[in-house]
Amino acid sequence: MRIGFIGLGGMGVAMARNLVAAGHTVLVWNRSPGPAAELAAAGAVAASIEEAFATGTVLSMLADDQAVTERLLDPTVLAAAPAGALHVNMATISTALAERAAREYAERGLRYLAAPVFGRTEAAAAGNLTIVTAGEPATIAKVQPLFDVLGRRTWTVGEAPAHANLVKILGNYLIACSIEAMAEATTVIEAGGLDPALFIEVLTDNLFAGPVFAGYGGMIGKRSYEPVNFRLPLGFKDVGLALAAGQERNVPLPFGGVLRDAFIEALAHGQGEQDWSAVAETSRRRAGLV
């Protein structure tokens, strides 16, 4: 299949590389040219956004609402897209933007599908992502072979693209809540003179098995926040999306306020380039352990 791929951060590079390896012709674009050149050396084709859309099927993995709005809701880009062209947005964006994108694409005779993913960069590299999608069944069926390359399983949660984004936002909210809970617990353990890393190992051996507690818990317990799989500002962005989703639906998220303030404090202390699990250092600072 001839497809476009827009947005080559850590996740996007891994995903596009897998599509190339699976035999697809992949036209790639990124704001900074380095990742596109790297993929071109691996068999992809460096292209413009317009050229990516000209394939008729374009996947994107941009960072936030602003990037999606500027690049993929640009009237000039959409006007140049061929009739019926499909955009599969695999990033975490607000439900409001997903609704707007679906509406504006439909008005232009284009198709829009939401397919955000769960999984860190190593899962993306292994083709082991969990894909959550929502849109027209026939459209999902068209790109399912691509999803099969990128992920271990695809979950269809509705026909309105925003439904997939709501699932993704609240999923990330739960991960953030887990990170904060582990941060608080390990801080008490450390203050009590015990080994936080051993504490996490005890609990993840059986009681809290799984990638969130084992992966992020291991980083928190050892205070080792590399490799950076998901930058702290992106975690802050997703907490904000969860709070906004709750507010729009008159559902309070009391713990969301705790998370928001913890992330703000981490950013104020210069942690913007660290993994979002490094927000655990906020608990240690508050306890006087830093």
For helices 95-107 and 161-191, the axis angle rounded to 10 degrees is 160
Written as six digits, the tokens of 164 are 């997939």
The Cα 218–Cα 158 span in angstroms is 35
Q: Residue 151 to residues 144, 170, 289: CA-CA distances in angstroms? A: 10, 20, 40
Helix runs in the chain, H state only:
10-21, 33-41, 49-54, 65-72, 75-80, 95-107, 121-125, 137-150, 161-191, 196-204, 211, 217-222, 232-248, 254-268, 280-286
Contact (Cβ atoms closer than 8 angstroms) between residue 257 and residue 200 = no
Q: Name the token pair of 273.
A: 């380039």
Contact assessment for residue 16 and residue 60, using Cβ atoms and an 8 Å cutoff:
no
- Annotated catalytic residues are 168
